Amino acid sequence: MGRQFYITTAIDYTNAPPHIGHAYEKVLADVIARYQRAKAAKDGAGVYFLTGVDQHGQKVQQAAQREGVEPGVFADGIAAKFKALWQKLDVKPDGWASTTDPRHKQCVQAILQKLHDKPGDPPDLYKATHRGFYSVRQEQFLTDKERGADGTFGPEWGEIVEIEEENWYFRLSKYREWLISFVRNHEGFVIPKFRHAELLNAVEKLSGDLCISRPKTRLSWGIELSFDREFVTYVWFDALINYISFAGYVGDASLPDFDQLWPADAHVIGKDILVPAHGIYWPVMLHALGFADEEIPTLLVHGWWNIAGAKMSKSAGNVIDPSALADKYGADALRYYLVRDISTGQDSDFSEERLRALYHSELANGLGNLLNRTLSMVHRYRQGVVTRTAAAGGITWGEKESATYTEAMDAYRIDEALEVVRDFVSRCNGYIEANAPWKLAKDPDEAEKLDGVLCDLLDGLRTVALCLSPVMPGAGESILRQLGYLTPEDRCALEGIPGAHSAAYPDLPATHKVGEASVLFPRIDS
């Protein structure tokens, strides 16, 4: 039994409902998880995909206050929207990380206690007083970053007072040198490379420690410090721990076996939360807890979906609702668009016109047509039954295609893998034109050739279905069913990735009966 592939995503704040950016990240991780699962099926290894919600902190407390409800009630209401969306989009995590889960709270408290009690001079945690400018309206301390060009704090901060506050600090400075050398020596810590360079640059400029508590008098919605009950844990310190708490770090029968899962193969996060949270705080936290360098997971940093070059935001009123798009185009097509029209790591512009155009050209016309033409020819010329003949092999999914596809998927470059499949679909459509089966069908001397062409098309479509399944699980399954390959005996077809594991991908029988045809991607009027 091989090692489990463990993949996580950023857990979403429950201060506002999900938008298309949240959907992209979860779909990306789900595609990777499904691909890895198909690949691992042969050697019995598994995949564990963790995602969830980040329920605590000021943003959530403030959003709840505006609605006049308890923060827990508010956060759970939004969490339910995230859960419902993942269900609609066929995003199927194995574990659900909710930071209000008692198992998580217990783990966060145990970790803080461990750092608090850890011998060392100077100690990892210390209490200190900070004096600074505080925005009463935003309920936060302001730093020089919040100053405008003229050096003052803008009107959006409301009344500003200078206050003194006592808090607990995590001594990041003690680990600064370790972090610099860790990041320098581990290029694979961050994907893509240019983000690694960006992180190294930030790490070299690092100064100061991290405030990890908030006094309950100003923020009560958080996990209490067990050694100082007047304080709750700073939300980032709480949230990052989800990656280990839900992997069974403190040992809990209802959670996975930590030694089996850790380290995660990929933490999937957006570019905005690399520095400082995942690139600085997180490795230092793990190191301080005694994790070895090799036990620090890789960060897969994706870019953002923007709207006409601008950031999506509630205040700009340009937030895109993924649920409505899934209703209109189907979950498969939305998933396809989200990983097809962005290259992992880069930003892209979201446009419904573009989604609709790709839906029609690549899905309805390209793929849908290939399936439809093939099935209708098999029904018309062969009463639904094809016979394998020596004449087959006029078009094949070759080793080069397999290699390019698997290399791209293994490197999380989904858009490149899809391009290989798309090119193959066009070649198959071209193959039909070039061989004109409608002419072959009229000539009894060409009977064997016609069988060969039909066989090639069925083989090709089966490969296409398997390769597309991680991205479009519904369409993948439907294609296999229509081709007649989703019989109980042939279940393994869904679990194979052509080229990666041919053993999980049995040869087609000598004669084969196809299933009923149905339209995969109906045209959608604008």
Residue bearing tokens 């209401």: 77
- The region of 7-15, 60-68, 460-468, 478-486 touching ligand MSP under the rule CB under 6 A is 7-15
Q: How many residues does the chain have?
A: 526
Among 155, 166, 79, 184, residue whose Cα is nearest residue 130: 166
Q: Give the C-alpha separation, 202 to 478, whole Å.
A: 48
Find the shortest distance in angstroms from Cβ 72 to ligand MSP. Answer: 17
- 233 and 222 in contact (C-beta within 8 Å)? yes
**What share of residues in the chain are helix, strand, coil (percent, to 5)?**
50, 15, 35
Say whether residue 262 binds ligand MSP (CB under 6 A): no
Helix (H) or strand (E) holding 183: helix 176-185
Which tokens go with 291?
A: 């994790």
Instruction: Specify the residue, 337 or 381, whose C-beta has the smaller distance to ligand MSP.
Output: 337
Instruction: Specify the residue, 14 or 402, whose C-beta has the smaller distance to ligand MSP.
Output: 14
451-to-26, 382, 401, 510 alpha-carbon distances in Å: 43, 8, 24, 11
Can you tell me which of 12, 30, 124, 224 binds ligand MSP, judged by CB under 6 A? 12
Instruction: Specify the residue, 342 or 458, whose C-beta has the smaller distance to ligand MSP.
Output: 342
By CB under 6 A, the residues from 48 to 67 that bind ligand MSP are 54
Say whether residue 25 binds ligand MSP (CB under 6 A): yes
By CB under 6 A, the residues from 271 to 310 that bind ligand MSP are 272-273, 304-305
Say whether residue 521 binds ligand MSP (CB under 6 A): no
- The region of 5-13, 159-167, 329-337, 368-376 touching ligand MSP under the rule CB under 6 A is 5-13
What residue number has its CB nearest to ligand MSP? 270
Which tokens go with 501?
A: 């594991």
- The region of 19-27, 109-117, 363-371, 492-500 touching ligand MSP under the rule CB under 6 A is 19-27
Q: Give the C-alpha separation, 31 to 25, whole Å.
A: 10
- 12 and 270 in contact (C-beta within 8 Å)? no
Say whether residue 313 binds ligand MSP (CB under 6 A): no
Q: Give the C-alpha separation, 85 to 97, whole Å.
A: 16
Q: Give the C-alpha separation, 211 to 170, whole Å.
A: 6
Q: Give the C-alpha separation, 264 to 249, whole Å.
A: 12
Instruction: Specify the residue, 238 or 456, whose C-beta has the smaller distance to ligand MSP.
Output: 238
Which tokens go with 317?
A: 């009123």
Using CB atoms within 10 Å of the CB of residue 465, give its burial: 0 to 12 exposed, 13 to 18 middle, 19+ buried: buried
Instruction: Specify the residue, 320 or 391, whose C-beta has the smaller distance to ligand MSP.
Output: 320
Find the shortest distance in angstroms from Cβ 304 to ligand MSP. Answer: 4
By CB under 6 A, the residues from 184 to 243 that bind ligand MSP are 239-240, 242
- The region of 11-19, 149-157, 225-233, 244-252 touching ligand MSP under the rule CB under 6 A is 11-19
Query: By CB under 6 A, how many residues form the interface with ligand MSP?
Result: 19
Say whether residue 255 binds ligand MSP (CB under 6 A): no
The residues binding ligand MSP (CB under 6 A) are: 10-13, 21-22, 24-25, 54, 239-240, 242, 269-270, 272-273, 304-305, 312
